[in-house]
Amino acid sequence: MAVSHVKRLWRHLVTDHLSLRRAFPRVALERIEQAIAAGERSHRGQVCFAVEGSLHPMHVLRRLTPRERALEVFGLLRVWDTEENSGVLIYLLLADRDVEIVADRGIDRAAGASAWHAISTHMESAFARGEYAEGAVRGIDEVSKLLARHFPPTGAGRNELPDKPVVL
């Protein structure tokens, strides 16, 4: 097993639910929920924030990537199931310090991969400094600006996905 793979396995073994709660206490999760709700008033899209502390060791040994896991979560949380195909999942795998943004085809086509990558990079930089709530809120604000540009509001839209962050 390669050294980097052993290090990754170790990070997943020692990143427990307590680590996740330290990074995202209740107050931080409330700020994230408020940021999603505020952002969704400026567009017709749907934003979902999900954070997972670590993967099961078998997933790490099978080399499941954060992107692959984000795609699974996108389906599990039904982010793809919005009326205008405008759902966006912001997924953080804390043990890998990796942010993946998965966007439904309607908004992904309009915004493009480089926009999602830039937002992910900004968030990862904030998280590296230990600024979890700030990084998440900033990322949500940037996603909301993209959604507002491509899916501006048209009256009172309905909230198709819960605004509350998902802790896996």
- pLDDT digit string, tens, across residues 105-128: 888 888 888 999 999 999 999 999
Residue 157: pLDDT band with limits 50, 70, 90: low
Length of the chain as a residue count: 168
131/74 Cα distance (integer angstroms): 25
User: What's the CATH number of domain 3-167, 3.10.100.10, 2.60.15.10, 3.10.310.50, 3.40.50.300?
Assistant: 3.10.310.50
Letter for the amino acid at 91? Y
Letter for the amino acid at 87? G
Pairing of strands 98-103, 87-93: antiparallel
Task: List, for residues 28-83, the tens digit of each pLDDT value.
Answer: 999 999 999 999 999 989 999 999 999 999 999 899 999 999 999 999 999 988 88
- Contact at 8 Å (CB) between 109 and 85? no
113/115 Cα distance (integer angstroms): 5
